[in-house]
Amino acid sequence: MDGDDLPRVRTDAASLLAKEDLDRYSQDELMERIALLEAEIARIKAQHAKAAAHRNLADQLFKPRPSE
């Protein structure tokens, strides 16, 4: 069995956050964490919208012209 057959281990930040034990946090700390994560989600959504708009402009620019 070579390395390509093994499942990939996810080490991205979201996967690491999902594995973290939350029992040690107080209710206030959990609410602060929720606020930080919601702010990060908003930042990611804004970046996604920006990338989608950029992609749309590129698609329009490089769209093949109809033959006459």
Q: pLDDT per residue over 1-58, tens digit each?
A: 555 677 777 788 889 999 999 999 999 999 999 999 999 999 999 999 999 999 999 9
**Contact between 40 and 48 (Cβ < 8 Å):** no
Q: Cα-flanking dihedrals φ and ψ of residue 20, to 5°?
A: -70, 140
Residue 67: the pLDDT is: 73
The residue that leads in pLDDT, 65 or 45, is 45
Residues 6+ apart with CB under 8 A from 36: none
Residue 4: the pLDDT is: 66
CA 30 to the chain's CA centroid: 21
The model's pTM is 0.69
Task: List the chain domain ranges.
Answer: 26-68
> ∠ CA 32-21-18 to the nearest 5 degrees?
80
